[in-house]
Chain A
Amino acid sequence: MTDVLDRPETGLNLKVVGTRPDRPDGVDKVTGRATYGADFSMAGQLVGKILRSPHPHARILSIDTRKARALPGVKAIVTGADFPEQASQEMEGGEGAANIRDIAMNCLARDKVLYDGHALAAVAATSSSIADAALALIDIRYEVLPHVTEVEAAMAADAPILDESRFTTGLEAKPDKPSNIVSRMQLKRGDLAEGFAAADVIVEGRYTTPAVHQGYIEPHACVASWSADGQCQVWASSQGQFMIRTYCAKILGVEASDIRVTPAEIGGGFGGKTTVYLEPVALALSRQAGAPVKMVMTRDEVFRATGPTSGAVIEVKLGAKSDGTIVAADVVLKYQAGAFPGSPVAPGCMTALACYDVPNFLITGYDVVNNTPKVAAYRAPGAPISAFGVESAVDELAGKLGMDPIAFRLKNAVRDGVKAAYGPTYKNIGYVETLEAIADHPHYRVPLGPNQGRGLAVGFWFNVGGESTAAVNIVDDGSAVVISGNPDIGGSRASMAMMAAEVLGLPVERVRPIVADTASIGFSMLTGGSRTTFATGMAVTQAAQKVVEDLKRRAAEIWDVGIDQVEWANGSALCLDAARNKPDLTLAAIAAQSGKTGGPIGATVALNAQGAGPGFGAHLCDVEVDPETGRVTVLRYTAAQDVGRAIHPAYVEGQVQGGAAQGIGWALNEEYVFDAGGRMENAGFLDYRMPVASDLPMIDTVLVEVPNPRHPFGAKGVGEVPIVPPLAAVANAVSAAIGVRMHDLPLSPPRIRAAVDTL
């Protein structure tokens, strides 16, 4: 079971924060009443479907929709030509920058298709079967072009070029030939050659990871309605209703104020629902048809045309003194971006050495386009990939030095006051504490049997803050409603209610949290970057504090005393002027007479939260490898993480367990497989093998709490860190079990058999 270590003394005397109440959305979710993207319907809605490219790379010569249009029941057909021309325009997307032109061309191709599954045209019809028949009647002529799916093949000088107008940026000299390498970035410190010259031991390795999908169980879905007066409504499952509003407005060339987006319950996102695929298409269909349009992806479409995260090549060279001090690191990261620029190679570079205090390093990253789906954010985008390479190399280096992997990491660990490899100086971090938590855990001392191995790895994620709005309104019965603009993907409604309840002094059951549509609450950046409990939680806390100030003012007015004579405690106003002998005024009593003291009680806070504390985790994994079959069984798994303060520890544990499970899948089973023709061969859950219950053991968690002073309750983001260490933790365990360093994921039985055969 879980330990919560070192619950810090804060003097806050918390009553709600840190407890484990039932989640406010629980009953709807266990009874089937929660309304997800595909569960919403409108009267008169049409069925929208998308025609997708069967080629990974082709020029579109013509699209003839005449036969399809003539089919009875077909009400609209749109292609890329139905979206206005876009200039290339970068904008802040919440999980990294986004280019509106690329997103539009990913929703519906123009001129070229760039991957198997790329959307070409869409129809809206009165039934699903008519829509299918119409898709089959659309006649498209292609000039099929050579394609490239692997990252290093795409970087080669003679590779098929996806965009002839693209020249690599970030090089010393402007290149004279177009390239699939979009950009090169570098981070450096010290003198690399000097560093390696001073090293007593050097390890060097080349590692690879395949493209993997976020794997949310809910396919993308939306209903869109474009009214005759130009007012648009969208109901959709996503990580940000405001993101959908912005992207749809830009892609369709309409005002954001003419679009209202209502967030559906979201059936998993993990970063993959931080962009649009269907919504602008559904709106364009609805405009043409004059009726609402519902679109729901199949699982095949989800795999072929959404997500994934980058497949990558990671080259790592590390040098250390014989006492275990790392003196030099050279890291090269080559990340697939898919069809359009924007792999997470930048965060991959920035996180690569974030756990280590290294005097001399060079980190080089390449963002590379290729003929696979445009990548989308996936939980700590880029970080698990670079961590896989670095943590494998660190494991090898510790082994060569004969040092315990925890002692070796502690010797080189970043601490408060150390300048991070990516720039800032660390403050209030709990990295060393997570390593110590693993060292102290009984798991670290369980004896291993034959064919068993133990692996350790650590991970880092920045966590972000950003713009959020929240409102706290008091109901006249003395309860509260908390309104925010962030879809709840991991239990954030519970934490919002808890933070408001803590400030107001109410039982948490008396606080109802709501995620509102874009017309009902102010702007909030999307749910991503592990920002919601931190940033939106800060807005909620401040709004509740404003309400408390207002309640005190009203109590003072009722009692006819100065506001300095009123204290708020346990949900009631206390009169400090003992001579007045006033009984406490409960929130309900004040709310009941709000009309006499200034009207309804409520407050809204909009802010741009700064100071999200970075998060660190250390994971320990035991495996057993069957040398006959190459099958890996995960025997034990323990994850320690600095969470700042767990608002609702059970959901923090859930984040850690879920992230670890996704990382185990990435390490052992999951990968995009393309045939020689560039088509995805495993676009379904049978062949894209995510972990099932019988693949995993219980996942033990240790929540380390080193509070973040910038958050009212000390919270740090928790959702992304836990997917960073597992790839290497599992691979290090497998390498230890078989006695061969494993460099390529997934660690599938054939790979392990082949490695064992080299012995």
Chain B
Amino acid sequence: MSKQHITATVNGDPVEFLSEAGATLLDALRDELGLTGSKEGCGSGDCGACSVILDGRLVCSCLVLAAEAEGRRVETIEGMAEGGVLHPLQRKFIEHAALQCGFCTPGLLVAAKALLETNPDPSESETRYWLAGNLCRCTGYDKVIRAVMDAGAELRQARVA
């Protein structure tokens, strides 16, 4: 079967690639576009390591067909730091030691960014339920939750200032 030609916007830049019919958006990001920051932990939408934002909505890129990205905007972990300056969430993850092996970290950061854009002042419980789709086996989530809530506080402060 012939490949399909896809054009999309990834992290603000136009991209085009060829995709097999069954390929996922995650396959396309990793194998066609070389954006290996999004990880495959399960391929079934259960671990969240492949989280990206598609037209403003948080999705597991392993559950989206590459062909579905046609004409749409995709934001990945590679687009999170702007101009070499870390996003507050990225900084807070490092400051709070909220990562160990780091494999789930890109997905957690993308999901946390979507949370803070939806709900700038989440409670601990809201943060835990929002991130329930992102498995982390190293940290026990304690420092992850603290980092996300601290980043939220910093972003709120910046908005007031």
Contact = CB atoms under 8 A, between A and B. Distances in A.
Interface of A: 20, 22-23, 25-36, 38-39, 129, 214-219, 265-270, 296, 298-299, 489-491, 650-651, 653-654, 657-662, 684-686, 690-696, 698-699
B102 A267 contact: yes
Nearest to A2: B142
Contact of B99 (A30, A270, A659, A662): A30
B94 A30 contact: yes
B100 interface: yes
Q: Closest 4 interchain pairs by CB?
A: A32-B37, A267-B103, A29-B102, A661-B140
Given A22-B95, A217-B39, A657 B76 contact: no
Given A27-B94, A30-B90, 7 more contacts: A31-B77, A267-B41, A489-B100, A490-B138, A653-B97, A661-B140, A685-B135
A693 B99 contact: no
Interface residues of B, number: 57
Interface in B127-150: 127-129, 131-145
Query: For the complex, would chain B's binding face be called helix, strand, loop or mixed by DSSP majority?
Result: loop
Contacts of A661: 137, 139-141
Nearest to A487: B101
B25 interface: no
Contact of A20 (B43, B93, B97, B136): B97
B9 interface: no
Contact of B140 (A129, A268, A660): A660
A596 to B, nearest CB: 39
A659 B138 CA distance: 8
Contact of B46 (A218, A269, A298, A684): A684
A491 B129 CA distance: 27
A651 B132 contact: no
Nearest to A686: B46
A489 B43 contact: no
Contact of A25 (B41, B102, B125): B102
A552 to B, nearest CB: 35
Interface of B: 20, 22, 30, 35-44, 46-47, 49, 76-78, 80-81, 86, 90, 93-97, 99-106, 109, 124-125, 127-129, 131-145
A30 B86 contact: yes
Nearest to A697: B142
B28 to A, nearest CB: 13
A35 B144 contact: no
B47 A32 contact: no
Contacts of B76: 32
B93 A658 contact: no
Nearest to A490: B100
A694 B133 CA distance: 9
A651 B97 contact: yes
Query: Which of the listed residues A30, A491, A653 has the most CB atoms from chain B within 10 Å of its own CB?
Result: A30
B103 to A, nearest CB: 3
Given A26-B99, A216-B101, A658-B137, A32 B38 contact: yes
Contacts of B42: 299, 684-685
The residue in A298, A654, A691 that gathers the most chain B C-beta atoms within 10 A of its C-beta is A654
Contact of B40 (A214, A219, A268, A693): A219
Contacts of A23: 94, 97, 99
A268 B133 contact: no
A696 B131 CA distance: 12
